[in-house]
Structure 1
Amino acid sequence: MTITLERPVGTTDPTTIVDPEVMNRLVRRVTTDHPEITDETARRIVGQAAAFIATSGQQPGHSLVPSELVDYGWHAFILHTADYAAFCQKTVGRFVHHVPTEEDEQMPGGAAAARERTVSAIQAAGYTVDAELWQSTADCNQCHAGCHDSPKSG
């Protein structure tokens, strides 16, 4: 018996799962908010954010975190609420909430383990990982920049 994966590990370019018009809006938002980032890099960032959202939404509670650069793409997406909600519904089947970590809350295993866990999960979900954009995790406790879709318990 041969098992065929719907998407073989790490083979889907995540920029292809974002509608082209939405991609253009998000690239403009990233480059407006971060003028040091080129359009091409912003496109890569948005693609990795899309892969992160799709993966973390399918694995709530796994403490997945975006990198600092990928977080820029996630924030841009969230600002376009209608586009974000439609993307979440299409890729995950529900809205993926942006839940900030508490000031004193630590990711299981620390930042390096969280980054590795996230990159591995994205690859296992079938998306290619742009390693250059995953050098550091985002600092998600200093703003409304929550980094994972895990509900807080009492």
Structure 2
Amino acid sequence: MTITAVTATRTGQSLVTKAEFSMLATFCADEYSLERSVAARVVDQALALVHVMGSTGEGATMAPSQQVDPGWHTLVLHTDWYANWCAEQFGYFVHHQPNSKTRTRGLMTDVVGKIRAAGFVVDERLWGTAAECNAPACCGDGPCC
């Protein structure tokens, strides 16, 4: 008999309480004029990204996609909450240092790989790395289109 190991995957949402996630997703939806369900996906991916950045110390080499960036802005705009969350998760504050000019399909693919390797579910559509993201219907950032 063969036993297959099941790799557990986690979500960014699992890193915060339900009340915190609801607060963040609602703010993101209101602030960036997103449908609530889309804002929830965006915040989920932002939490996973920041967690990987903070826990690996590789923040300087990672960037959010254009679609995920509003989620990170949402975290940062809740300054007290975000500072406390970073301190609890990593022991230091993960700064948002804008580097949108570095967004390429290659970088997004690398970031997605790091998030996935950390055990998180990745929403490929928000990173511009989904298979159906080809011109003229590209859903990604930068020169991939």
Under a length normalisation based on structure 1, what TM-score does the superposition of the two structures give? Answer: 0.71
Report whether the alignment pairs 1:127 with 2:117: no
Q: In the aligned structure 2, how far is the partner of 1:93 from the partner of 1:130?
A: 27
Q: In the aligned structure 2, how far is the partner of 1:16 from the partner of 1:91?
A: 13
Contact 1:66/1:137 (8 A) holds in 2: no
Letter in 1 for 2:125: E
Q: Which of 77, 81, 87 pairs up with 1:89?
A: 87
Q: Which of 103, 108, 115 pairs up with 2:108?
A: 115
As a proportion of its length, which structure holds more helix? 2
Letter in 2 for 1:89: A
Contact 2:62/2:107 (8 A) holds in 1: yes
Q: Which residue of 1 aligns with 2:97?
A: 99
Change (3 A) 1:61 1:32: closer
Q: In the aligned structure 2, how far is the partner of 1:93 from the partner of 1:116?
A: 28
Q: Which residue of 2 aligns with 1:39?
A: 36
Q: Which of 48, 52, 55 pairs up with 2:49?
A: 52
Q: In the aligned structure 2, how far is the partner of 1:67 from the partner of 1:14?
A: 16
- What's the CA shift for 1:91? 2.4
Report whether the alignment pairs 1:68 with 2:61: no
Q: Which moved more, 1:37-46 or 1:93-102?
A: 93-102
Gaps in structure 1 of 5+ consecutive residues: 1-7, 139-154
Under a length normalisation based on structure 2, what TM-score does the superposition of the two structures give? Answer: 0.76
Q: In the aligned structure 2, how far is the partner of 1:16 from the partner of 1:65?
A: 21
Q: Secondary structure at the match of 1:129?
A: coil
Q: In the aligned structure 1, how far is the partner of 2:35 from the partner of 2:83?
A: 26
- What's the CA shift for 1:60? 2.4
Q: Percent identity?
A: 31
Contact 2:12/2:47 (8 A) holds in 1: yes
CA deviation string 1:31-78 (max 9, x = no partner):
11222x211111111110000001112232551111112101000110
Between 1 and 2, higher relative CO (CA 8 Å, sep ≥ 6) is seen in 1
Gaps in structure 2 of 5+ consecutive residues: 1-6, 129-139
> Considering only aligned residues, what root-mean-square deviation do their CA atoms show, in Å?
2.1
